[in-house]
Structure 1
Amino acid sequence: MDISVVVPLFNEQESLPELTAWIDRVMQANGYSYEVWLVDDGSNDDSWQVITALAARNDCLKGIKFQRNYGKSPALNVGFQYAAGDVIITMDADLQDSPDEIPFLYQMVMEEGYDVVSGWKKDRKDPLGKTLPSKFFNFVTRKVSGIRLHDFNCGLKSYRRNVIKSIEVYGDMHRHMPLLAKWAGFRKIGERVVEHRPRKYGTSKFGLSRLITGFLDLLTLMFVGKFGKRPMHLFGTIGTIMFLIGFVASIVIGTTKVYALANNMPMVLVTNNPWFYISLTTMVMGTILFVTGFLAELVARSNPDRNHYLVETVLDA
Structure 2
Amino acid sequence: MPKYSIVVPFHNEEDNVTTLYDRLKAVMEHIGETFELVFVDDGSRDRTYRLLEEIAAVDSRVLVIKLRRNFGQTSALAAGFDHAQGDFILAMDGDLQHSPDEIPNFLGKLEEGYDVVSGWRAQRGDNFVMRRIPSRIANWLMATLSGVNIHDFGTTFKAYRREVIHNIPLYGEMHRFIPALASWYGASICEIPISNPSRQFGKSHYGISRTFRVFFDLLTIRFLLKYMTRPLHFFGTIGAISSFLGGALAAWLLVLKLVTSQHVMDMHGPLFVVAGVLILAGVQMIGIGLLGELQVRHFHTASHRAPYAVDRIVRLRSEESLLQ
TM-score relative to the length of structure 2: 0.86
Q: SS of the residue aligned with 2:60?
A: coil
Partner of 1:11: 12
Percent sequence identity over matched residues?
38
TM-score relative to the length of structure 1: 0.88
Partner of 2:192: 192
Partner of 1:249: 249
Partner of 2:91: 90
* Separation (CA, whole Å) in 1 of partners of 2:226 and 2:114: 24
Partner of 1:230: 230
Q: Using a 3 Å threshold, how does the CA distance of structure 1 residues 298 and 198 change in structure 2: closer, same or farther?
A: closer
Mean CA deviation greater in 242-251 or 275-284 = 275-284
Give the deviation of 1:27 after TM superposition: 1.6
Q: Using a 3 Å threshold, how does the CA distance of structure 1 residues 272 and 208 change in structure 2: closer, same or farther?
A: farther
* Separation (CA, whole Å) in 1 of partners of 2:281 and 2:250: 15
Instruction: Say yes or no: does 1:153 pair with 2:154.
Output: yes
Query: What does 1:161-310 align with in structure 2 at a 5 Å threshold?
Result: 161-186=162-187, 188-261=188-261, 267=262, 269-273=264-268, 274-301=270-297, 303=298, 305-306=300-301
Give the deviation of 1:304 after TM superposition: 6.1
Give the deviation of 1:106 after TM superposition: 0.3
Q: Supply the AA of the counterpart residue of 2:65.
A: I
* Separation (CA, whole Å) in 2 of partners of 1:271 and 1:216: 43
Unaligned runs of 5+ in 1: 262-266, 309-317
Mean CA deviation greater in 229-238 or 121-130 = 229-238
Q: Using a 3 Å threshold, how does the CA distance of structure 1 residues 136 and 55 change in structure 2: closer, same or farther?
A: same
* Separation (CA, whole Å) in 1 of partners of 2:163 and 2:295: 29
Q: SS of the residue aligned with 1:153?
A: coil
Q: SS of the residue aligned with 1:36?
A: strand
Is the contact between residue 146 and residue 221 of structure 2 (CA under 8 Å) also seen in structure 1? Answer: no
* Separation (CA, whole Å) in 1 of partners of 2:290 and 2:157: 42
Unaligned runs of 5+ in 2: 304-324
Partner of 1:127: 127
How many matched pairs?
300
* Separation (CA, whole Å) in 1 of partners of 2:157 and 2:83: 19
Cα RMSD of the aligned pairs, angstroms, is: 2.0
Q: SS of the residue aligned with 1:305?
A: helix
Q: SS of the residue aligned with 1:37?
A: strand
Give the deviation of 1:85 after TM superposition: 1.6
Taking CA–CA contacts closer than 8 Å with sequence separation of 6 or more, which of the two structures ends up with the larger relative contact order? 2
Q: SS of the residue aligned with 1:143?
A: helix
* Separation (CA, whole Å) in 1 of partners of 2:278 and 2:225: 28
Find runs of 4+ consecutive structure 1 residues off by over 6 angstroms.
none
User: How far does the alpha carbon of each residue in 1:79-127 deviate from its partner, in whole angstroms, 9 at most, with x for none?
Assistant: 111112221111000011111110010011112x111011010111212
Give the deviation of 1:271 after TM superposition: 4.5
* Separation (CA, whole Å) in 1 of partners of 2:135 and 2:35: 32
Q: Using a 3 Å threshold, how does the CA distance of structure 1 residues 87 and 236 change in structure 2: closer, same or farther?
A: same
Is the contact between residue 249 and residue 271 of structure 2 (CA under 8 Å) also seen in structure 1? Answer: yes
Q: SS of the residue aligned with 1:135?
A: helix
Q: Using a 3 Å threshold, how does the CA distance of structure 1 residues 157 and 271 change in structure 2: closer, same or farther?
A: farther
Instruction: Say yes or no: does 1:31 pair with 2:32.
Output: yes
* Separation (CA, whole Å) in 2 of partners of 1:110 and 1:251: 65
